[in-house]
Structure 1
Amino acid sequence: MTDPTTLLTMSGAALIGLCVLAWAALSGWRGWLELERMKFERRGGAPVEPAASPSPAARIELADLKERVRKLEAIAAGVDL
């Protein structure tokens, strides 16, 4: 395994493999960016604006969920309520 030809062949194959992986990753990244650009253009290029005011039912549900999260965090921390 200390033969210079073998070492050169193995290192060349590893370098070629690394280049192929880098090319595939770059190609995937470019494809993902193109997909995101198409999504952005499809929705008009304008940022999505949040609703003006949530309904009272949504506020109650949000408050209930926050209370549940607070209780779960207290249980995880070992605090008795």
Structure 2
Amino acid sequence: MFEPTMIIAGASLVGLTIVAAALLRGWYGWLALKRQELERHYTGTEERDTGSSIGAARIELADLKERIKKLEAIASGVDL
């Protein structure tokens, strides 16, 4: 009546169906998450930095100038 090959094939088919359903559900969840991220981005409800980027740029520029001075001093042989 039931051969072992038929039982294994049926169990494999059921297992494959379960795995495919779980992956499909995960895919739909991921798409929903990305859709929410896009909506949040376009509606402007995402939290943003309120600080000035100009101040950060000035600090970074000053840091780079300091490094250049140190490198020039090392190249000329002056010990800091």
TM-score between both structures, scaled by the size of structure 2:
0.54
More helix per residue: 2
Q: Partners of 2:45 and 2:36 in 1: how far apart?
A: 15
Q: What is the match of residue 50 of structure 1? A: 50
Runs of 4+ in 1 over 4 A off after TM superposition: none
Q: Partners of 2:29 and 2:16 in 1: how far apart?
A: 20
Query: 1:8-41, CA deviations, whole angstroms, 9 ceiling, x for partnerless residues?
Result: 0000000011110010000000000000000000
2:32 aligned with 1:7: no
User: Identity rate of aligned residues, in percent?
Assistant: 10
User: How many residues align structurally?
Assistant: 50
CA shift for structure 1 position 50: 3.5
Structure 1 portions without partners, runs of 5+: 53-81
Q: Cα RMSD over matched residues?
A: 2.4
Query: 1:44-64, CA deviations, whole angstroms, 9 ceiling, x for partnerless residues?
Result: 89x933324xxxxxxxxxxxx
TM-score between both structures, scaled by the size of structure 1:
0.54
2:18 aligned with 1:17: yes
**Aligned AA (1:36):** E
